[in-house]
């Protein structure tokens, strides 16, 4: 009888210890909530100025949540429409993108077929009044709140055209729905291309319709799925898209967290539409969350070849919880794991370095996993592509021409001279056009400091502080002469990159978001790599076998 009694005693001690631990934790929570409550009451009673409770307490909540991860957020009642837009892709408003300028609110993009475009708003217009009140000095958040509103209500705006003329317009707000699949096409004979903008409600249905149209009407036999710049979204939508290409009952992804009741396994619940068609998935450093699940699950199941850059590395799952007074808490509850068993979360938010920044998990601490065919894949750092193909690297000159709105303003002037442009298949931005752009840049007296020059300036200051300035003067002057940029030289040296940016901006002005995607594909090395691979059946098959491994070229 000794052993049963000892077992019972051990269990009793464990339960008592666990209960004591839970009780102590609850006591600590209650204690610190009391302290927080007392501090605020004292401030409200004694502080020299009046404290706004909604602002002060929200800041306290935000600071508390910022110590966890970037995805756990408090959403007050006034911001619930933003949460709805994130999950559904829908909101009620006018359908344009804006930015703040000294003179008012600049229209930087207009959605095709939406209220702003119907009313005659054009990219480049400047809103100077909203409902009779000046928009000068208004920030983007406040302007957005005034432009948004209930469907079928109206907002009056006064816009200043690029010619200086002011025009009053009445815009009738509508329900704005941003398509998850803004563009798909037969990009080459037999090869389909589908761009996924995000994973909101109905994304999978829109993807399925696009795929069936390509398969049944264009008779495609190969497919490119593009999730570059895709920040993710609803997990179920990603699972349903994967389900189109893998066997029923296949495990697509599963989640694990502190609360076992919230853990879930997602399986393919339907028969696939096509489980044999060769697929290439395009990813880049900004492909995150649900887009990484699509790429990673298809990679783990050896169902697609992944092409591009290493993805972002967001392996965390959030859910929303209702709070008192109409607010909401978006909280990270678990990590997700794709079929091989790996989690691709790149940053461990529980660990900090000396500067209080979360640390990215080093490659040396990642682990090996195997795909269905035995290929080696790793966890802890996003989805590593099977074929590495980097996006176009931005030069400093190209970056500042875009960032300082030089390209934007030039294209606005371009539109004045060109009421229309040809179909994008026939459109070409010519050398003569580029000469006009170079003249425009010089007229603007455009200047910038390169990254190398910024570092050299910092080095000169350090040398001066440490007493080495005179000693290293000759070398510094020689280095300055070598790296000093010249606008004419830079405009010629980085012509290809700058022309790409100009062409895409022009296409967006005349053909909206669809045009932007079509034009960008003309300059797309990653897309070209995918076409090349899909046309090489033997290479495609070899990549998806353990013997071949992969074609990574990092």
Least confident residue range of 87-91, 375-379, 465-469, 506-510: 87-91
For residue 305, give the 3-state DSSP assignment: strand
Task: For the chain, give the mean pLDDT.
Answer: 89
Query: Comparing 30 with 77, which gets the higher pLDDT?
Result: 30
pLDDT score for 547: 57
Please tell me which residue, 54 or 537, carries the higher pLDDT value.
537
pLDDT exceeds cutoff 80 at 6? no
Question: Residue 348: is its pLDDT beyond 70?
Answer: yes
Q: CA 531 to CA 114: how far, in whole Å?
A: 34
Mean pLDDT over 286-314 rounds to 97
Three-state helix/strand/coil letters over 413-480: HHHHHCCCCCCCCCCCCCHHHHHHHHHHHHHCCCCCCCHHHHHHHHHHHHHHHHCCCCCCHHHHHHHH
Q: Any residues with CB less than 8 A from the CB of 181 and at least 6 apart, and which?
A: 194, 195, 196, 197, 203, 206, 207, 210
Distance, CA of 36 to CA of 34 (rounded, Å): 5
- Six token digits for residue 38: 């007392």
Q: Which residues lie across from 191 on neighbouring strands?
A: 188, 222
DSSP 66-104: HTT-TT-EEE-GGGHHHHHHHHHSEEEE--EEEEEETTE
276 is known as an active-site residue: no
> In this structure, how many other beta carbons lie within 10 angstroms of the beta carbon of residue 359?
13
Strands 387-388 vs 305-308: parallel, antiparallel or unpaired = parallel
Mean pLDDT of 357-377: 85
| Residue 187 confidence (pLDDT) above 90 | yes
Q: Is 99 a catalytic residue?
A: no
Distance CA 101, CA 126 (A): 9
User: SS3 sequence, 3-71?
Assistant: HHHHHHHHHHHHHHHHHHHHHHHHHHHHHHHHHHHHHHHHHHHHCCCCCCHHHHHHHHHHHHHHCCCCC
Residue corresponding to tokens 């353990």: 546
Note every long-range contact of 357-363, with CB atoms under 8 Å and residues 24 or more positions apart, other chains counting: 358/69, 360/313
- Mean pLDDT, to the nearest integer, of 26-42? 89
Backbone phi, psi, residue 154, to 5°: -120, 150
- How far is Cα of residue 439 from the mean position of the Cα atoms in its chain? 35
Using an 8 Å Cβ cutoff, are 395 and 448 in contact?
Answer: no
Could you tell me the end-to-end alpha-carbon distance of the chain, in angstroms, rounded to an integer? 65
Residues in the chain: 554
Bridge partners (DSSP) listed for residue 74: 329
Q: Is 300 a catalytic residue?
A: yes
| Percent of the chain residues past pLDDT 90, beyond the cut | 66
Average pLDDT over residues 19-31: 77
Out of 203, 250, 289, 520, the active site residue is 289
Helix (H) or strand (E) holding 492: helix 487-493
Q: Is the dihedral of CA 286, 290, 296, 298 positive or negative?
A: negative
pLDDT tens-digit readout, 421-464: 999 999 999 999 999 999 999 999 888 877 777 888 888 888 88
Phi, psi of 177 (to 5 degrees): -120, 115
| Structure-derived torsion over alpha carbons of residues 97, 99, 101, 105, reported in degrees to the nearest 10 | 40
Catalytic site residue from 69, 125, 226, 300: 300
Phi then psi for 338, rounded to 5 degrees? -90, 175
Taking CA atoms, 142 is separated from 89, 99, 130, 302, in Å, by 21, 11, 11, 48
pLDDT of 426 reads 95
Q: Which domains does the chain have, with CATH numbers?
A: 27-67 (no CATH), 90-177 (2.30.42.10), 183-323+333-391 (3.90.226.10), 396-532 (no CATH)
Annotated active-site residue in 314, 389, 503, 524: 314
Mean pLDDT of 292-319: 96
Mean predicted confidence (pLDDT) in 298-321: 95
pLDDT at 1: 45
Strand partners of residue 92:
175
pLDDT digits (tens, 9 = 90+) for 143-181: 998 999 889 999 999 999 888 899 999 999 999 888 999
Q: Identify the helix (H) or strand (E) that includes residue 383.
A: none
Query: What is d(CA 341, CA 252) in angstroms, rounded to the nearest whole number?
Result: 10
Q: What is the pLDDT of residue 553?
A: 45
Residue 35 burial class via C-beta count within 10 angstroms: exposed 0-12, middle 13-18, buried 19 and up: exposed
């Amino acid at each position: 009888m000794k052993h049963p009694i000892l077992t019972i005693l051990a269990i009793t001690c464990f339960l008592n210890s666990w209960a004591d631990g839970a009780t102590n934790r609850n006591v600590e929570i209650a204690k610190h909530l009391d302290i927080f409550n007392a501090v605020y009451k004292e401030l409200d009673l004694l502080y020299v100025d009046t404290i706004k409770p909604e602002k002060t307490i929200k800041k306290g909540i935000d600071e508390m949540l910022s110590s966890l991860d970037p995805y756990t957020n408090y959403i007050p009642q006034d911001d619930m429409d933003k949460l709805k837009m994130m999950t559904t892709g829908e909101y009620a408003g006018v359908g344009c993108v804006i930015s703040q300028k000294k003179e008012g609110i600049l229209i930087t993009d207009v959605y095709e077929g939406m209220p702003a475009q119907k009313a005659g708003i054009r990219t480049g217009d400047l809103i100077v009044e909203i409902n009779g009140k000046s928009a000068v000095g208004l920030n983007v958040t406040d302007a957005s709140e005034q432009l948004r509103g209930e469907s079928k209500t109206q907002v009056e705006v006064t816009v200043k055209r690029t010619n200086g003329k002011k025009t009053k317009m009445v815009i009738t707000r509508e329900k704005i729905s941003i398509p998850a699949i803004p563009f798909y096409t037969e990009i080459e004979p037999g090869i389909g291309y589908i761009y996924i903008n995000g994973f909101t409600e109905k994304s999978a249905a829109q993807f399925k319709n696009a795929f069936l149209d390509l398969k049944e009407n264009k008779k495609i036999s190969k497919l490119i799925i593009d999730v570059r710049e895709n920040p993710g979204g609803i997990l179920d939508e990603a699972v349903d898209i994967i389900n189109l290409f893998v066997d029923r009952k296949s495990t697509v992804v599963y989640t694990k967290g502190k609360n076992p009741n919230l853990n879930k396994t997602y399986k393919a619940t339907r028969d696939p539409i096509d489980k044999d068609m060769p697929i290439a998935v395009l990813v880049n450093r900004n492909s995150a969350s649900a887009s990484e699940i699509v790429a990673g699950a298809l990679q783990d199941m050896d169902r697609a070849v992944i092409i591009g850059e290493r993805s972002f590395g967001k392996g965390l799952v959030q859910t929303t919880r209702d709070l008192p007074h109409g607010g909401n808490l978006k909280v990270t509850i678990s990590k997700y794991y794709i079929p091989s068993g790996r989690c691709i979360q790149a940053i461990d938010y529980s660990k900090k370095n000396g500067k209080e920044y979360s640390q990215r998990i080093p490659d040396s601490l990642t682990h090996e996993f195997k795909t269905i065919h035995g290929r080696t894949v790793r966890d802890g750092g996003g989805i590593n592509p099977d074929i590495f193909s980097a996006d176009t690297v931005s030069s400093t000159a190209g970056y500042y021409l875009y960032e300082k709105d030089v390209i934007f303003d030039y294209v606005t002037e371009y539109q004045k001279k060109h009421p229309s442009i040809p179909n994008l298949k026939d459109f070409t931005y010519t050398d003569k056009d580029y000469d006009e752009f170079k003249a425009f840049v010089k007229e603007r007296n455009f200047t910038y400091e390169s990254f190398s020059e910024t570092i050299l300036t910092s080095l000169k200051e350090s040398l001066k502080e440490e007493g080495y300035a005179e000693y290293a003067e000759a070398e510094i002057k020689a280095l300055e002469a070598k790296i000093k940029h010249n606008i004419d030289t830079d405009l010629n040296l980085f012509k290809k990159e700058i022309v790409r940016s100009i062409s895409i901006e022009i296409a967006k002005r005349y053909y909206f978001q669809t045009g932007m995607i079509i034009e960008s594909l003309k300059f797309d090395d990653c897309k070209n790599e995918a076409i090349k691979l899909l046309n090489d059946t033997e290479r495609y098959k070899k990549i998806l076998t353990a013997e071949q491994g992969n074609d990574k070229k990092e």
